[in-house]
Amino acid sequence: MIELKGVTKTFGSTIALDNVSINIPEGKIIGILGPNGSGKSTLLKMLVGLNKPNHGNIFINGQQIGVQTKSFISYLPEIDYLYPWMTIQQAADFVKSFYEDWDENKYKELVEFLELQPSMVIKKVSKGMRAKAKLLLSFSRNAKLILLDEPLSGIDILTRDKIIETIIRDYRAGDQSILITTHEVREVEGILDEVIFIRRGQIALEGNVEELRYQRQASLVEIMKEVYTHETI
Judged by CB under 8 A, the stretch of 16-24, 56-64, 80-88, 110-118 that binds another protein is 80-88
- CB-wise, 174 or 231, nearer to another protein? 174
Q: How far is CA 30 from CA 80, 109, 133, 170, in A?
A: 23, 25, 23, 16
> Of residues 164-223, which lie at the interface with another protein (CB under 8 A)?
164-165, 168-169, 171, 173-174, 186, 189-193, 210-211, 213-214, 217-222
Judged by CB under 8 A, the stretch of 17-25, 112-120, 160-168, 195-203 that binds another protein is 160-168
Judged by CB under 8 A, the stretch of 56-64, 98-106, 150-158, 224-232 that binds another protein is 98-106
Strand 194-199, strand 29-33: pairing:
parallel
- Chain centre distance of CA 172: 16
8 Å CB contact between 133 and 88: yes
**Distance between CA atoms of 38 and 201, rounded to whole angstroms?**
6
* 140 CB-side CA count, 13 A: 28
- CB-wise, 81 or 117, nearer to another protein? 81
Q: List strands edge to edge, sheet with 29-33.
A: 73-76, 145-149, 177-182, 29-33, 194-199, 202-208
Contact positions toward another protein, by CB under 8 A?
Answer: 28-29, 45, 48-52, 67-68, 70-71, 73, 75, 77, 79-86, 90, 93-94, 97-100, 161, 164-165, 168-169, 171, 173-174, 186, 189-193, 210-211, 213-214, 217-222
